[in-house]
Structure 1
Amino acid sequence: MVTDQGGGTSEADGGPVRHIPVLLKEVLAALDPAPGKIILDGTFGAGGYASAILDAGADVVALDRDPTAIAAGQSMMHASGGRLKLVHSRFSDLAEHAPAQGLDGVVLDIGVSSMQIDEAERGFSFQKKGPLDMRMSAAGVSAADVVNRAKVSDLIRIFGFLGEEKQAGRIARAIEKRRAETPFETTRDLANLIETVTPRKAKDKIHPATRVFQALRIFVNDELGELAHALFAAERALKPGGRLVVVTFHSLEDRIVKTFFQDRSGKAGGSRHLPLVTARAATFTPVGKPMVAASEEEASRNPRARSAKLRAGVRTEAPSPGADLSIFNLPELASLARLGG
């Protein structure tokens, strides 16, 4: 499933909207914040979840890898009377910011912030001319670095797997030809090339560049790897009875979260064709339905919620079996560090 996050909201939606927390009522119901509890919000953003959790009486430790989000949240932190702590950090490192006694809850909203999309200088959107950047942390390898330096074979894998782009080969080869003459610098440079190579058809619901921009954003920020590490970190940081709530917007992200909860359910695996895997003690038990989607009313009010999926679990007393990334079957893609020049 591909959302139009690479370009903000679709043109039919009338342009970008400011960030509205998705599935807020459902998140609070699954998270169960209350006075005396400490909840970690791993994706502070504009503070939508954190504000509602504070209103419910719980204290909040909020992380964000984007320094601008931390700066913008300072007034909210000062107004909280010491109940909100803001930390500039990736959510994969959330266990490092948990109190010694453990957390009562962790909530993760896995998606690009509408605020980031709206800021042309961040380079997330092809609807606005800006530098081809896409870095949530404002540091490290940019999307321009990837487009201008990656091998064609690596670009094909990035666009094909992370963006589910069927024309990945044609687009990658066109990029190679163009960058030999002039390097890509802006979002419009790339979007215009893609639209030339794969023109928009009348029946298309999204812009031809949507999938490539999405793939680049996920790759530049290692979003799938970050999510996988964050789930294991939450398992270590939560106290027994603590709750993990995750909202995703892309099928690849949701698959990782679903796989994690299935793996941690304690049920034995295997089939007629595969050997039986010995059951182990469950580290999480489900909260409510296996998956919760946005209502039609919310989706119409907030287009960003259309593809949102919520999954949640309650931490048991069983010890963590450790981080095993192989359960997610993540693809082997080009090294980000190598593309930094």
Structure 2
Amino acid sequence: MVRVLMMAVLLAVGVAGGATAQGFPTRPVSMVVGFAPGGPADVIARLIAPSLGADLGQPVVVENVGGAGGSIGQARVAQARPDGHTILFGSLAQATIPTLYRRLSFDPLAMDAVGLVNEVPMAIIARRNFPATTLAELVGVVRRDGRALNLGNAGVGSTSHLCSLLLVSSIGTPVTLVPYRGNALVMNDLMSGTLDMGCDQTTNNAEQIRAGSIRAYAITTEARATALPDVPTTAEAGLPAMRMSGWNMLFAPAGTPRPVVDRLNRALLAALRDENVLRRMGDLGSGPASGERTTPDGAQAFWRAEITRWRPLIEAAGQFAD
């Protein structure tokens, strides 16, 4: 009798869960971005939101919950009801938070990946009148002047912060790292000449590079960026150890029913086929993700591998956020 009752309860729970997944979404979906409006993650999130909403049949509303290197936004999603109506438009920050922040109010690993959205080249950049015209010359200036030079980033744990750490490690000479409260502030100071250097996603600097407002020395990916075909790769420019990509990924709270995760994934794949999305990504020097990493399982594996990759660099730098 007890066994029959247990089976009945399990069946009822399964039916209820299936019904919830089948009816998803029943209201607008909140897509949280852990950074301020106007930054690289926000730009791509707002680009794909209409396509996601069209496929889901409910609006997808971008909600900026910035601060603490993206951890506040992640906490907002991690602690939300796991029904798919609150999701995270994550970035490389989600691979650094588990190492950078050792006292958090939530488990930074308690997230279910939905799928990789895109990958973005990073550009090594400097103020327009910086005394170097090539990457080799920039490396020479850095090795000569060291901490007298300022290298700006969008805050501890941001993609530009990681790019800065990797650049300093690749050159082998420390400089003064300057954290800002967002990418836009870094760009403002680069264009005004009050900041020496930066290392940021092409989604945040391609237009300024093309306009000549700042200098670009190299792209950190294997191939040149389509939006900046005249800018060499770091391998071409003589710094092959400097290799990385920024990325964005959709996450749901841990425990979200797999049918809901799969439904979100189908909407993401539809968005990545949208011609407007593809065209605008190309303009920004980015490109849609493809292959296994666009699946929930593949994205989860990629995310965990990125955590493992960046942990030693962060620990060696000793720049913890707490």
TM range (shorter): 0.3 to 0.5
TM-score between the two structures when normalised by the length of structure 2? 0.36
Q: Which has the higher contact order (CA 8 A, sep 6+)?
A: 2
Higher strand share: 2
